[in-house]
């Protein structure tokens, strides 16, 4: 761990606290009759539940899967989302020389996992209708922004009239790039030397499928 990482101070105790701060930053959206909050599983759903409760808005999930570079899966070369949204970073693919066949194989694998997760989270229930709505996309943080970019495209494809991106913390460049894709971006913290999302939380455990289902089942609307 670098000296800079050792000196870094967490911004949030956990996702609950992060959601409370984000909800306060989003209070201008409270009471909108057409607002739907969409949590990005898994880690974004606990944050989104706090936001949805605070804004008295219905909550749903928008499943997004990162397309990891083969052999370096932590590096995103794009992302896919429910409803057919897809973001592909051709600069990374070309720079690393990833063959098209490998790219398509990763997409096929992640599409299968996306389908599994949608069934695990919702069962047979259909997604909420986004036609003409304001879709508020919530995640627990924005690193590369690839998954959120795919989510923005997916919500527009689903008929959302307005798309708002919200996260408690994000990398400055990624947040700036998303402003050209979404109608609004709300991110209270954009620290320099961002690193990873988890570095800004004291507790950043993995959210389980069971927790996602429980958070959805108790949501408003």
94 half-sphere exposure, CB direction, 13 A CA radius = 4
- What's this model's pTM, rounded to 2 decimal places? 0.85
The stretch 49-77 carries a mean pLDDT of 91
Residue 157's pLDDT is what? 83
What's the rounded Cα separation, in Å, for the pair 23 and 156? 23
CA torsion through residues 42, 45, 47, 48, sign: positive
For the segment 196-206, what is each residue's pLDDT rounded down to a tens digit? 999 999 999 99
First CA to last CA distance, the chain: 44
pLDDT above 70 as % of the chain? 95
The stretch 167-194 carries a mean pLDDT of 96
| CB-CB contact of 143 with 200 (8 Å) | no
For the segment 100-142, what is each residue's pLDDT rounded down to a tens digit? 999 999 999 999 998 888 888 988 788 888 999 999 999 999 9
């Amino acid at each position: 761990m670098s000296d800079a990482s050792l000196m870094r101070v967490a911004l949030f105790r956990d996702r609950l606290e992060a959601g409370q701060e984000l909800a306060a930053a989003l209070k201008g959206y409270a009471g909108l009759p057409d607002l739907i909050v969409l949590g990005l599983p898994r880690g974004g759903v606990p944050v989104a539940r706090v936001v949805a409760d605070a804004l008295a808005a219905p909550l749903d999930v928008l499943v997004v899967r990162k397309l990891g570079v083969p052999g370096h899966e932590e590096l995103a070369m794009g992302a896919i989302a429910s409803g057919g949204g897809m973001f592909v970073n051709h600069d990374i693919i070309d720079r690393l020389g990833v063959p098209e066949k490998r790219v398509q194989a990763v997409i096929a694998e992640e599409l299968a996992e996306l389908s599994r997760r949608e069934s695990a989270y919702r069962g047979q229930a259909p997604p909420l209708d986004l036609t003409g709505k304001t879709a508020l996309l919530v995640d627990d943080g924005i690193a590369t922004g690839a998954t959120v970019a795919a989510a923005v495209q997916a919500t527009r494809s689903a008929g959302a009239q307005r798309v708002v991106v919200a996260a408690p913390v994000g990398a400055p460049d990624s947040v700036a790039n998303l402003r050209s894709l979404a109608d609004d971006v709300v991110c209270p913290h954009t620290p320099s030397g961002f690193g990873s999302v988890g570095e800004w939380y004291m507790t950043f455990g993995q959210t389980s499928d069971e927790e996602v289902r429980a958070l959805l089942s108790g949501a408003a609307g």
